[in-house]
Each structure stands twice: as C-alpha cells, then as structure tokens.
Amino acid sequence: HEVYRNAEIAKAADPFTVAIDHLNEKYQQIPDNKTSEEWATERIILAASFTGYLWYYQNEEQVETLGTEISFELPLIHPKIGMSLPLDEVKILGKIDRLVRRQGTVQVRDYKSTGKSIAADSSFWGHLRLDTQISMYVMAATILYPELQIAGAFYDVWHKPTIKPKALTQKDTKALVETGKYCGTEFTVWVEADDTAENGVRWVKVDDRVAEIEHGKKGYAIRETPELYGARLLQDIYKRPEFYFARREIPRTAQDIKKFEKQLYNIYQSMKSMRDSGHWFENEHACEATFKCPYIPLCYPDVDITGGQTPPGYKRIFMDMTVGETD
C-alpha cells in the first residue's frame, strides 16, 4: 500500500526509484520471525509487482491528486432530527488515503491487496457495494468538501501472487549456469567445482546469493533464490496482468450515504447499550477471519479473568467490574 501511494505522490520523481528506495528502507532490518530468504522474497514480491503495475498502467490517463492522508474528526448525526451528538460522547475518526479528480469526477481513491479473485465477475466487487470503509470515506469527504460533489470511490487492487518459490529442474539449472538467463532476466552465476563434493559441485551462487542445491543421481538442481523467483513472478505478471491488477469505480449515491449514517447511529446505540449494561456479545466468526485474535488463548479454553488475576502475557488496563481492582 505504502509503495503504491508514495510512488504516485512523488510526481516529480521516477516512481520506480521512489518505490525501490522505500522498499530498501523498510526491508533493511530482518525481523526475528523471518529468515533472510523469507524477508528477501517478500521484498522481491513487492518490487516485481510494482514493476508490473507501472508497465500495465503506463498508458492510463493520469489522475489529479487533490489531497492525501486527509484526517477527519466528525460528529455523529442523529438520523431523525439531524442534530450532532456531543463530540465528547462520540465522534467519527478516520483518514482518507487520497482524493482525486478523474475524468472530471472527484472520487476517494484507495489501494487494496487481496488473495481473492479480482475477475470482473467475482464476488470481490459485489461485496464492495456493502463496504463500510468506502461509505465512511465518501461520507467524510462529502462533509469536508461539499463543493466537490464526491461521486464515490476509485479502487486500485493488487492480487497477491499465488506462485511460490520452487526448485528448478536439472535441465533449467544447466541452462541457467550456461547462459546466465532465467525467465527472461540475466544473472551472474558462479559454480564452485569440487571433485570431492557430490556431483562435483560445492556451491552455486546466483548474483550475490548462494542457492540451495538439490542433488540427484545424474546431476543437481538448485532452488530459486528470491531474485530468481522474482524473475519468474514478473514473467507471470507480464503474461496475465489482469490476474494481478484491477481498477474499478465504486459508486456511492446520496441515498447510500443517508443509509450509512443511520447504520452508524445504530452501531453507536448498540455499543452504548453494551457499555452501559456491561454485557458484550461475542462474534465467533471473527476469531480467525483474517488474522488470529490475540485473545484466542483466553477465549477458546474459557479462561476466567474476573477474579483479579491477569494471565501471563497480558496486561490489565480496565477496572475489573467484579472485584473493583486494576492491575
């Protein structure tokens, strides 16, 4: 998301250079939960995808950016009487990624990544008719800039790659060693020969990275380094760009926004009721919907946390309504 956004904001600079500089900065430090290969592969995925993105949309009409990172803090409106509720009681907070003028129409622009199909007939697009984030941003932009007549949202979507790093065949390995080429990209390949090593090869280095060798009875093959995988990924993007990239307008009418304002008010009333009563409903479908909830170790085994004891790894920040204590 940041790669795409920062590259487009920097109009005066080469967007590819901006994107690569951003990636280099973000991927300098390898996190503890990643290997160097995994971290390099993740970076390569983003670099190859952005290269394909620039190529695919190089002839698209440019949009005019009217604003970026637009924060908002708005009152909640009572849907029946039209009055604002006190800001110290409830407020609507958010940040609009970009506001653009495209083909004479002003829209909220948002970048999304997904593992779901983005084909024209996929349910991904139909679901966006119900997307609350789009409605929220369009509503906020309409309030902040009533003179612009916000028409809806412009979605720029990237489908995450489904192909993974793999082992080359012995034939492809031999071709890479002899020609230095793989999937249309040139590499510098070194082979350290050693008669005492299996298949007479001690190591194979592609550019500056030693490749993992898989030995066979009649020869050897190497596994793709992150850079080799990136070359294959970019080749796949060039072959079927519509699998990876899609753009579409997501309309929001005045009637849609009115409906959403009522929905927000109803959500607030539900939250207020639960807060006042101290009883909150559970949504078991959200526990592992996208990411695993950090409270699963407490909920699944039904750990009792009302006795004043704080489980290891957690910090108590609210008063325990049962015993009146805090940790």
Q: Evaluate the CA torsion angle 108, 52, 212, 194 in order and state its sign.
A: negative
Residue 112 within a domain: yes
Q: Are residues 94 and 50 part of one domain?
A: yes
* pLDDT computed for residue 325 by the predictor: 41
**277/158 Cα distance (integer angstroms):** 43
Q: Are residues 196 and 118 part of one domain?
A: no
> How many degrees, rounded to 5, is the angle at CA 108 between CA 105 and CA 112?
130
CATH code where residue 84 lies: 3.90.320
Q: Are residues 190 and 154 part of one domain?
A: no
Residue 228 within a domain: no
Q: Where are any strands of DSSP class E within 46-188? A: 64-74, 92-102, 105-114, 152-159, 181-182, 185-186
Whether residue 153 contacts residue 106, with contact meaning beta carbons closer than 8 Å, is answered with no
**Stretch 114-123: mean pLDDT, rounded?**
94
- For residue range 275-317, what is the model confidence (pLDDT) as tens digits? 888 888 888 888 988 788 988 998 888 888 777 778 888 887 7
Cα diameter, the chain: 87
* pLDDT computed for residue 3 by the predictor: 58
* pLDDT computed for residue 53 by the predictor: 94
Residue 27 within a domain: yes
Q: Are residues 46 and 115 part of one domain?
A: yes
pTM (global) more than 0.85: no
Q: Are residues 47 and 90 part of one domain?
A: yes
* pLDDT computed for residue 324 by the predictor: 40
User: Count of residues for the chain?
Assistant: 327
* pLDDT computed for residue 11 by the predictor: 54
Listed residue (245, 248, 244, 240) closest to 126, CA to CA: 248
Q: Are residues 101 and 71 part of one domain?
A: yes
Residue 272 within a domain: no
φ/ψ of 9, rounded to 5, equals -65, -40
Residue 232 within a domain: no
Q: Are residues 191 and 48 part of one domain?
A: no
The structural domain count of the chain equals 3
* pLDDT computed for residue 134 by the predictor: 94
Residue 141, burial from CB neighbour count under 10 angstroms (0-12, 13-18, 19+) = buried
**Stretch 174-186: mean pLDDT, rounded?**
97
Residue 317 within a domain: yes
Q: Are residues 197 and 126 part of one domain?
A: no
**Stretch 139-155: mean pLDDT, rounded?**
95
pLDDT band at 147 (very low <50, low <70, confident <90, very high): very high
- For residue range 186-245, what is the model confidence (pLDDT) as tens digits? 999 999 998 888 889 999 999 999 999 999 988 999 999 999 999 999 999 999 999 999
**19/6 Cα distance (integer angstroms):** 7
- For residue range 127-144, what is the model confidence (pLDDT) as tens digits? 998 899 999 999 999 999
- For residue range 229-245, what is the model confidence (pLDDT) as tens digits? 999 999 999 999 999 99
Residue 151 within a domain: yes
pLDDT band at 9 (very low <50, low <70, confident <90, very high): low
Q: Are residues 136 and 61 part of one domain?
A: yes
**Stretch 250-261: mean pLDDT, rounded?**
94
User: Residue 248 pLDDT > 90, yes or no?
Assistant: yes
* pLDDT computed for residue 303 by the predictor: 85
Domain of residue 197, residue span? 170-223
* pLDDT computed for residue 6 by the predictor: 58
Q: Are residues 186 and 298 part of one domain?
A: no
Q: Are residues 301 and 179 part of one domain?
A: no
* pLDDT computed for residue 326 by the predictor: 39
**227/44 Cα distance (integer angstroms):** 7
**138/152 Cα distance (integer angstroms):** 6
Q: Are residues 145 and 80 part of one domain?
A: yes
User: Residue 126 pLDDT > 70, yes or no?
Assistant: yes
What's the whole-number average pLDDT of the chain?
Answer: 89
Residue 123 within a domain: yes
- For residue range 70-102, what is the model confidence (pLDDT) as tens digits? 999 999 999 888 899 999 999 999 999 999 999
